[in-house]
Every structure is written in C-alpha cells, then in structure tokens.
Amino acid sequence: MVTATVWLLIGVLGEEPPPTSLPAGPAVVEGDLLTGEITGPYGSWALLDTGQSRLLLDLGSPAGLVSGSTVRVEGTSDGVPGTLGSARYGSTLNVESVVTMDESPLIGAGTAVRDHVLRRLQPLAGSRALLAGFLIGDTSGLDPSDTEAMRLSGLSHFVAVSGSNIALFLGLLAVVAGPLAWTPRRRAVIGLLGLPVYAAATRFEPSVMRASMMAGLVLVGRLLGLLLEAWQLLALAVLILIVVDPDLIGSVGFQLSVAATAGVLVGGRWPVPRGLPARALAVTTGAQLAVAPLLLGHFGQVPLLSPLVNLVAAPLVATATVTAAVGVAGLTPLTAVAEAVAGMVLGLARGASTWPQIGALSFAVTLGAVAVGMRWRVPRLVLVVVAAALVVVRVVGPGAGGLPNPGVVVLDVGQGDAILLNGGDGRYALVDGGPDPVTLVQKLREYGVVTLDLVVMTHVHADHLTGLLGVVGRYPVGEAWQAFDPHRTETSDELLSALRRWGVPVHEVGPGLTTVLGSLEVRVLGPLRRYKSPNDQSVVLEVRGPGATMLLTGDIELSAQSELAGLHTDVLKVPHQGGGTSDTEWLAAVDAELAVISVGENSFGHPVDWVIETLEGSGARVLRTDRDGDVVVDLSEPPSPPPTLRP
C-alpha cells in the first residue's frame, strides 16, 4: 500500500513535460483515445493521442467513444494548451465529425452490452437515466442539476460503477452461465472472461478499472489457491493499474475510488455497537473521511451530512440496481419497480443537496473534535451538542452572508437574467433563472435560500427561463407569474409543464397586480398589452422597499418602453443585457442613481457602449455582472452608498 501511495503522490505532485500544440485552424487527425467520453453539464470531452501531440476533443454532445479506440477526427484547433484534471494537452479540437477506425472484439462486446442496457431503459431521462448510471455509469441522460445534486449530497459515487456493481455482474453472469458455473473454478474462469467485457461496457471508468482489477485478483487467487487480504488486493490492484496506465494517477475518479475503498476498509474495523445500522454508518463515515481531503482539494467543500444520507440511500440504490439489472435482463416489469426506487434516490439527492457543505477549516475542526472524543472519551452528549452547533452555524451562516434585508441581488449567472428578492423573515422571490440550472441552484444555495414564495417568469426566452428548470421540484414554490401569451418556446412549454406537474399555481398577470413580500412591495407595471416581440412582452416589476425602489425590466425594447413613459426609480435593471434595443431618452428619463446590467460572455456585443454612456450621462453609476459579480442592492435606504459586490 505504501508503494501505491507513493505512486499516487508522484502523480498528484509531479510535473510532466508540456505536450506539443496543434496549430490553430482547421485540422484532420488520427489517433488513439486515452479516455472514453467524459460527460459533464455542458458537453462531452475525450483525450486523443496522435503520436505527435495530445489533444482535448470537445465533442459537444455524446458520440459513444471508447477508451483505446483509434479514431479519425475533423474539426478546428484553438492552438491553446491546457489541462483536464491533471492531464495536460496541447490544444483543444472542436469536433465537427469523428469516425471510429477500428474496434476490438472486446470493445464490440462491451458496446453490445451497453447498448442493450440503454435500449431497455428508454426513454433515458429522470429516474431511468439514474438507473443507467447505477448499472453502467452512463449519466448522459441525467439532468445536469440532478448530477450536481448527487455530488452535493455525497451520492455521486453511486453512479461511478464500483465493487458492488462488479459483484452484481459476476453473480448474474454465473446465473446466465448455468451448468458452466457450477464449480468455484469454473465461476472464476467465467468471471475473468466477463470482467473485461463489463469494463468495456462501462467505458473503462477509473473506478471500474480499480474494482475490476481487485475482483480479477480474487478470481486469479481462487484458481491458484491463494487468499489475499483486502488491503493486499487494493495495494496490488493500484500498483498494477498505474504501471499499465500512469495517466490514472492524475484521474480524480481514480483517486476518489482508491481513497473511498481504503476508507471503507478502515471504517469496517472501527469498534462500534453491534447491528447493521451502526456498522453501515461506520463504513460510510470512513469512506467520507478518506475522500474528504481530495474533495476539498478538487472542489473546495464536502457535504457535512453525507454519511447519514448514504446510510439512507445505500439500500435504495442496491434495490434499484438489482431490480434494474434483472429487468433489463428480461423481466421487464421489474424495471418499473427499479425506476420508482431510483426516483426516491433522486428525491433524496435533491433535498440533501441544499444541506450544509463544509470547507477545509470546518472539516479540520470536526475531525479534531472526533479525535478528541475518541482519545479522551468525551461524553457523547457533548459531542452531539458540538456537532449540532456546527450544523446550525453552517445552515444559518449562508443566509446571513451578503443578503440585504430587505433588498435585491442581481445574480451573476452568465448571459441572461436571474434576480433574487429578499423581503426578510425568510421571504424570497426569484425573477427569472438565467441560462443554466446548475449555476442558479449554486447561487441560491450560497445565499441560504430554501423556499421561494414567488417565481416570476418575465418572458419566454431560454436565457431567462432555463435555470428555473433546476428550481421546480427542488425548492418549494408558493406561486408563479407569467404573461407569455401569445408567445411560446420549447423552454417555456417545458417549464409550465413542470410547474403544473409539481402543483405550483401559475397566474397570468397584468398591470396593477401587487403583492407584499415581507418588507418589499412588488407591483406589476407591464406588459400593457400583447406585443409582437417576446422581449416587449416581458413582465415589468417595480420593487419598493422602505428606503428605495428598483425597476426590473426583463428585456423590454422600444415599443414597450415608449408605452411605459414617466417611470422613475432609484435602481434600474437595464433591459436586454444592455443591448442596443433601448430608447436613449427613456433610459435617461428613468433617472436612476444605479443601473445594473445582467450580462455574460456573448457574441451579440452586449452591452453596447452607447447604452452605458447614456446611463452614465444621466448620472447613474453602472455595474455589470460579468465584471462585478453578483450585485447586491439594499432597499432599506437610498442607494447613495455603493452596493455590495460579490464576485
């Protein structure tokens, strides 16, 4: 184990020479895939070795590529070197087409198994997408916000295929083999033949390689009459894998898999009261403690209550995985049962994703408290009180960090709008959600939001609505406002359907409607009628606080602005990301002291210079989220003091 640890440290701390860059411009290359597809919230990637250089393939959407395959790729190189995890590459190739040149019988057999599983789980969405993750590690059909929820709740390891999946596969393989597997030696031979196929079906994920190697060593030992202990199996498996493929050392998935396995072995030996729950909690706690330093290093935080969440989730995941495996093998009705159980896991992940996350300092304090308790036998009641206090601090803390009471936060969510209203006393409203559900949920979590009294959907465009798809079903929502008619988009239809499915009342609003949100009064000013442009159809709101007002304008353009004359406010949310679709006279006449532009990286030229010049010429201070981060505006007093900026 010491040798394997040294190898891992070399991989984490060592440096490798930079790979040769591919010149910028169109390119056609051939090479061997160093990784299978790495799928994330924003697309899929893979590493390619051409012999002369190492390239990062930006695939956009999943292409079914398998590690070890030889492919021919056509695309455009940016000529810029970088890193993926700890693996360095010479440039990124934005892929236009990719063709597999050859495929070994092993990869072909693995692909056949994978395709069969995915075909039997169609449609691959929601709970069924999670089942694909449980069985073969494929999360391509899982909503990005659910992927993030699994990570934040500490459950993402369940979709990183590992030891329990290998054991299930070997068991099913023995059943299918029938008389051929009636003796231990025959089962060992069949298992050794089947393990590479399952590894290929799961696209040679690092956790699969670790688990497969350990299982393979057990089977080889059975054939040779040798019995290896668990620590010997782990150390030998790690050593063999990093000798065969040194790039595994830098793989986050491999590091986490090895650490978690070591943590399970340690937790399994802790002296705990007899009984399955206590033993299971010790094992999950051991795994969490082992991976915590890696999670802190790579992600900056760990879920505080992950052991408890895993204690509840583990039997559900096991049930879902076993029934799904039997279902895809032929007993189709069991797939529906597995889908229902997987839905429970998703619900648990979504709920637990809003629970406390701790950083390095909090983790060190918690670990220190546990060590002190174990060393000097501190009464359990004292430890419980300390742990409860830490949880309370972590739960309450974010809500107090940077939120004005009452006030408004224009969130930095990229190219689009998402605006959080805080009326005080736990009363929140959200106006639009930006273009990305994951980003929006992260922002709400940062500010300690756990429930929303009101969600306002200003108009039908995706850069204002898509993020809200991550809110519906995850946060309790009191009601939703919209004035879409006569416009609709695929995103608006999907969002309205989700709101209905979760029982959220949706109201079509018009001028004059007013609601009170704690210390804030929210009044609808527009749209005044039906407009040809969806942007002009935006819901326009006046938010009035005890000391100041703010005008939220959606994306209104010339037509709507001309009919909303005579408006004055202290703070203006500039329409349409500051694009050139506003009336200069209208912008100046609003006479705002502060103007906030919600904007991200874009190819539209937003914001245009003359809009900023007009606002500054009228006496407004202009802030923009792409440069200033979240803009936090206190409406309890006039906006003479500078607003708080949160990068």
Cα distance between residue 590 and residue 122, in whole Å: 53
Q: What's the rounded mean pLDDT across residues 236-262?
A: 84
Contacts of 603 (CB under 8 A, 6+ apart): none
> What is the SS3 string spanning 351-415?
HHCCCCEECHHHHHHHHHHHHHHHHHCCCHHHHHHHHHHHHHHHHHHHHHCCCCCCEEEECCCCC
pLDDT exceeds cutoff 60 at 400: no
Closest CA to 419 of 513, 554, 536: 554
pLDDT at 248: 78
Asked whether the predicted pLDDT for residue 599 surpasses 90, the reply is yes
Q: What is the pLDDT of residue 366?
A: 67
Q: Per-residue pLDDT tens for 124-151?
A: 778 888 898 888 888 877 877 788 788 8
* Residue 434 burial (CB count, 10 A): 28
551: CB partners within 8 A, 6+ apart: 525, 540, 541, 542, 543, 567, 569, 571, 572, 573, 590, 592
pLDDT at 531 over 60: yes
Convert the pLDDT of each residue in 145-187 to its tens digit.
Answer: 788 788 888 888 888 777 778 888 888 888 878 777 778 888 8
Whole-angstrom Cα distance, residue 90 to residue 105? 31
Res 541 pLDDT > 90: yes
Distance of CA 491 to the CA centre of its chain: 20
DSSP alpha helices (H): ranges in 225-275?
Answer: 230-244, 252-267
> What pLDDT does residue 40 have?
56
Given a cut of 60, is residue 401 above it in pLDDT? no
Q: What is the pLDDT of residue 54?
A: 82
Greater model confidence, 98 or 559: 559
* Angle in degrees, 0-180, between the axes of helices 306-329 and 126-136, rounded to the nearest 10: 90
pLDDT over 90 for what percent of the chain? 33
Lowest mean pLDDT among 339-353, 381-395, 398-412: 381-395
- Of 582, 576, 647, give the one whose Cα is nearest residue 613: 582
Confidence check: pLDDT of 3 > 50: no
Cα atoms in the Cβ-side hemisphere of radius 13 Å centred on 114? 24
What average pLDDT does this structure show over 428-434?
96
| Pair 125, 141: CB distance under 8 Å | yes
CB atoms within 10 A of CB 85: 16
| Contact indicator for 494, 502 with CB cutoff of 8 Å | no
Closest listed residue to residue 537, CA positions, set 570, 566, 559, 562? 559
CA-to-CA distance for 364 and 489, rounded, in angstroms? 49
Q: How confident is the model at residue 419 (pLDDT cuts 50, 70, 90)?
A: very high
Q: What pLDDT is recorded for position 534?
A: 95
- pLDDT reported for residue 44: 75
Average pLDDT, integer, range 481-509: 93
> How confident is residue 397, by pLDDT bands cut at 50, 70 and 90?
very low
pLDDT tens-place string over residues 341-365 = 999 998 888 878 777 777 777 677 7
The model's confidence at residue 1, banded by pLDDT at 50, 70 and 90, is very low
What distance in Å separates the CA atoms of residue 432 and residue 488, rounded to the nearest whole number? 16
Residue 308, C-beta contacts closer than 8 angstroms, at least 6 positions apart: 281
Share of the chain above pLDDT 70, in %: 85
Q: What is the mean pLDDT of residues 77-105?
A: 77
Domain boundaries in the chain?
Answer: 2-103, 108-358, 361-400, 407-646
Residue pair 477/495 in contact (Cβ under 8 Å)? The answer is no
By C-alpha distance, which of 309, 321, 259 is closest to 280? 309
Q: What is the pLDDT of residues 216-226, one digit of tens each?
A: 898 998 888 88
Q: What is the pTM of this model?
A: 0.66
Question: What are the angstrom distances between the C-alpha of 394 and each of 136, 387, 401, 419?
Answer: 35, 11, 11, 24
Report residue 549's pLDDT band, with 50, 70 and 90 as the boundaries. very high
Q: Which residue has the higher pLDDT, 142 or 233?
A: 233
The pLDDT assigned to 377 comes to 58
Q: Is the pLDDT of residue 110 over 90?
A: no
User: Mean of the pLDDT values across residues 234-240?
Assistant: 90
Predicted confidence band at 586 (pLDDT cuts at 50, 70, 90)?
very high
> Higher confidence at residue 231 or residue 385?
231
* Between 48 and 335, residue with greater pLDDT: 335
Asked if the model's pLDDT at residue 4 lies above 50, the reply is no
Q: Which CATH class is domain 2-103?
A: mainly beta
- Beta-strand runs (E) in 441-529: 452-457, 477-482, 506-508, 514-517, 520-526
Mean model confidence pLDDT for the chain: 82
pLDDT tens profile 460-478: 999 999 999 989 988 899 9
pLDDT at 376 over 70: no
Q: Which of 123-127, 263-267, 423-427 has the highest mean pLDDT?
A: 423-427
Average pLDDT for 570-576: 95
Say whether pLDDT at 37 is over 80: no
Q: How far is CA 616 from CA 530, 587, 593, in A?
A: 32, 10, 9
CATH C-level class of 407-646: alpha beta
The model's pLDDT over 607-619, given as tens digits with 9 standing for 90+, comes to 999 999 999 999 9
Higher pLDDT: 163 or 484? It is: 484
| Predicted pLDDT of residue 380 | 56
- Measure the CA–CA gap between 633 and 635, rounded to whole angstroms: 6
Residue 428 has pLDDT above 90, yes or no: yes
Report CA-CA distances (Å) from 317 to 97, 152, 185, 313, 621. Answer: 37, 17, 30, 6, 53
pLDDT band at 381 (very low <50, low <70, confident <90, very high): low
Rounded to an integer, what distance in angstroms lies between the CA atom of residue 57 and that of residue 38? 10
- Cα distances from 571 to residues 474, 545, 621, in angstroms, run 31, 11, 10
**pLDDT band at residue 292, thresholds of 50, 70 and 90?**
confident
Count CB neighbours of 141 within 10 A: 20
Q: What is the pLDDT of residue 103?
A: 64
Highest average pLDDT, of 65-79, 205-219, 500-514, comes from 500-514
Predicted local distance difference test score (pLDDT) of residue 290: 81
